[in-house]
A and B are shown apart, each in its own frame.
Chain A
């Protein structure tokens, strides 16, 4: 039966060439869309690793003021901490959660190396944004006295650098391989560019006490705290440090912004693709309708020879499946290159999922489009069909 179908299609390959190209192109479009969606969905399903409700970030900029920066930061820190609305606060670099800023560097351990996103933060960060520890503990300010600077890394970094060993207590080296940091703890996920971000290696370093460069504050406020307190806070900071700029960002808003940056392109792509596919489906339906209607004589003959309605329907469905398989084989030749060549550094699993999804959807579309015309055709009465010829 299948061999017969293949022969049927092959004999009319010129007529079917355009149909094959159409299904092939639809497959490629679907593959692209499915990859994008699979990538984002997988990322979304991974936990964020911290919590952002009622957390604000304050970025400070000293502008032209260069006098006693460290003392002013200390004063601001103490003052902000003293407000009853503030439950806890932490000082860190400008790459606070959901910010647009990023700082990367290469970290080495023996022969393994990893491109790690680097964040400076003090001992309170894990408490302020509630990062659970998996192993070891978050560093304390008192740890700064040792020879190596204490750091906390995430699971992803641990895996890249240590494979299956535990990271706690190990010494990490910088680009030249010189030992600089000691791992004091490991956290699980930390996706600070919101849920749609890929899980990447991260490293937190204890903020040096004399540091005047990293002066963003992350504060956890009591629920219900509003802009009145915010205005008070800004006024307070301005009275301590004249000429400084203060910007307060609610992490909730910053997260939304990060989401929009991911979702809007996906949404546009989704709309354009679904329009293309509706278009293709309608067209396919029209073409199949026409071509099946033209084969009334053949259907009549088959029915007269005793073929059941079901058998006739199956034949037409089989034909379109064979056609779709041809196109999909062509499409797969392209699509398989992506996981094989590791294009765009996306995990092979995502490409495979996308390919499977695209194949499934293509079969679904062609089946839906061929179903109605085939059913219609199979109901033709042999006498009428043969009479017409």
Chain B
């Protein structure tokens, strides 16, 4: 039966190439936009290189201090000392990495200027983030203890800095702001859309200019805390909060007297939402609401369009429906047929969309708009798209089918 319906659908499609074109154009472009969106969100939020353990990582990025009247507020990253005291010492966590956000800097090769981002990190950074080492190895606790002037660079920076980039560069020197650092390793870079791990050069936190010596609570360091398992996240979070809760209040930071102190440790998605929407609880729902609204707009308009088109076109097939009804086909069967037809068309559109998305993603990845972009159609993206396809097919199939079911046999046969 199903095969029969599909055969009919195919014939109907071929009968009016123009309408088929409109229909498929709508479906495939809509789904392409949706798939690209999902893929991009997945790129931003999902656990990908080098933050592959994102699902069991907590991000500590901001300290908010406010005075008793909540009139003035100070917020930003923390000092190395603070994180070393409160994040590194967590007993329930597997480990914690402390590092700075990337900072801009410049390197000069001849008359060439290379813009680069530098990060200062501890040795655990390399254990929490899974970087691929093209050459060499990361710096370890010993390097840090010795205060070595060493660095890990990315393959991209290597290409720009060393004229003969095919040769291994481990052991060679790079000069950044008049200080020579020995290259210990070369990693495949992390895209800028993952701001926690992105940089061109990674220094140990004891390198000059890292300001890890700051004694107050505020500074330029942030942390990633790795829980032993995904289920442990809550435990680690509450242990961290209880540590923070033990800090005596009120206190002084420079000239600023604060009576409230908030430091959050959040999984990446929550952190991400907080950052783009500037904090506050309950934002997760708003974020999903906005995404949902955009998706609905992107999907809803073409869907209404399709319903409109289908409603019109189904009347063209009035005689077919009339005959089937006259021979005793119940409305349910007829509706089922039209829904199958619609889902079938949607899936053709879906296939086209998949191909289009694949091409576009490859173009985006290759274009260098985002260095190290790794947009992909993975299983998750694909299953979301399939689900969307189904909803789309049902949405645009049900209404015309209902319309058709109201058609009286006599009317239908007359035409």
Contacts and interface: CB of A to CB of B under 8 A. Distances in A.
A276 B302 contact: yes
Given A230-B108, A230-B113, A272-B298, A64 B211 contact: yes
Interface in B153-179: 177-178
6 contacts: A22-B308, A231-B108, A279-B25, A279-B30, A279-B301, A294-B315
B251 interface: no
Interface of A: 18-19, 21-22, 25-26, 29, 61, 63-64, 226-228, 230-231, 234-235, 238-239, 243-249, 272, 275-276, 279-280, 282-287, 290-291, 294
Most buried by B among A230, A246, A286: A286
Interface string B91-107: 00000000000011110
Nearest to A272: B33
Contact of A286 (B18, B103, B213): B18
A25 B313 contact: no
B19 interface: yes
Given A25-B297, A64-B213, 13 more contacts: A19-B308, A22-B305, A226-B111, A227-B108, A234-B177, A243-B208, A272-B298, A276-B297, A279-B301, A283-B302, A286-B312, A290-B309, A290-B312
**Closest 3 pairs (CB-CB, A-B):** A283-B305, A231-B108, A227-B113
Given A246-B177, A290-B312, A25 B111 contact: no
A26 B209 contact: no
Contact of A227 (B29, B112, B211, B213): B112
B305 A280 contact: yes
B308 A283 contact: yes
B26 interface: yes
A286 B23 CA distance: 10
Contacts of A22: 301, 304-305, 308
Nearest to A249: B104
Contacts, number: 102
Given A243-B209, A246-B177, A286-B309, A29 B297 contact: yes
Nearest to A61: B209
Given A227-B108, A279-B26, A286-B22, A18 B298 contact: no
Most buried by A among B110, B113, B308, B312: B308
Contacts of B33: 272, 275
Contact of B177 (A226, A230, A238): A238
A137 B154 CA distance: 50
Contacts of A19: 308
Contacts of B106: 230, 234, 247-248
Given A282-B22, A282-B25, A247 B105 contact: yes
B300 interface: yes
Contacts of B348: none
A29 B22 CA distance: 20
B380 to A, nearest CB: 22
Contact of B111 (A227, A246, A283, A287): A227
A63 B179 CA distance: 15
